[in-house]
């Protein structure tokens, strides 16, 4: 069973961004399954790195679209992205140094942040970007 399921409530109505969000959710679901199953630290290391890498890739792409189209809330949006990446990097560093166990609490933090960010902050750009012709 998926940890988080894609639904219309997560759609920003822009296909290219929705597809990236779907992939992000797939990566989160895979990460959750492996944390829940007690997978090896080696496997979890690869999964958290993959999640972090794709999140960076998605944020860069999303920020590019916002910036090119002159989205007025760009700076505040980018700040949220930067803070999330810093937090995930901190979690990764603590895990790799043995100071943290990847747990359901960690995956809950990531899930809550991602779904809250999409449903709140990301949805604020929907109408603006659609009016600019972004698909």
* 35-79 pLDDT tens trace: 999 999 999 999 999 999 999 999 999 999 999 999 999 999 999
In a domain, 71, yes or no: yes
What CATH code is carried by the domain that includes residue 43?
A: 1.20.120.50
In a domain, 13, yes or no: no
- Which structural domain, as residue segments, surrounds residue 54? 29-131
In a domain, 84, yes or no: yes
In a domain, 57, yes or no: yes
Let me know if 66 is exposed, middle or buried by CB neighbors in 10 A (0-12, 13-18, 19+). buried
CA gap 4, 110 in Å, rounded? 11
Confidence of residue 101 (pLDDT cuts 50, 70, 90): confident
pLDDT score at 105: 87
Residue-averaged pLDDT of the chain: 94
Average pLDDT over residues 98-117: 91
Q: How many domains does the chain have?
A: 1
């Amino acid at each position: 069973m998926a940890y988080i399921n894609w639904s219309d409530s997560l759609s920003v109505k822009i296909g290219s961004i929705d597809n990236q969000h779907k992939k992000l959710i797939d990566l989160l679901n895979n990460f959750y399954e492996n944390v829940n199953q007690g997978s090896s630290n080696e496997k979890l290391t690869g999964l958290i790195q993959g999640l972090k890498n794709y999140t960076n890739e998605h944020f860069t792409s999303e920020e590019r679209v916002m910036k090119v189209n002159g989205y007025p809330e760009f700076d505040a949006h980018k700040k949220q992205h930067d803070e999330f990446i810093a937090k995930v990097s901190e979690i990764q560093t603590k895990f790799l140094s043995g100071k943290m166990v990847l747990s359901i609490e960690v995956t809950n933090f990531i899930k809550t942040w991602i779904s809250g960010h999409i449903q709140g902050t990301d949805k604020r750009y929907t109408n603006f970007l659609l009016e600019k012709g972004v698909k």
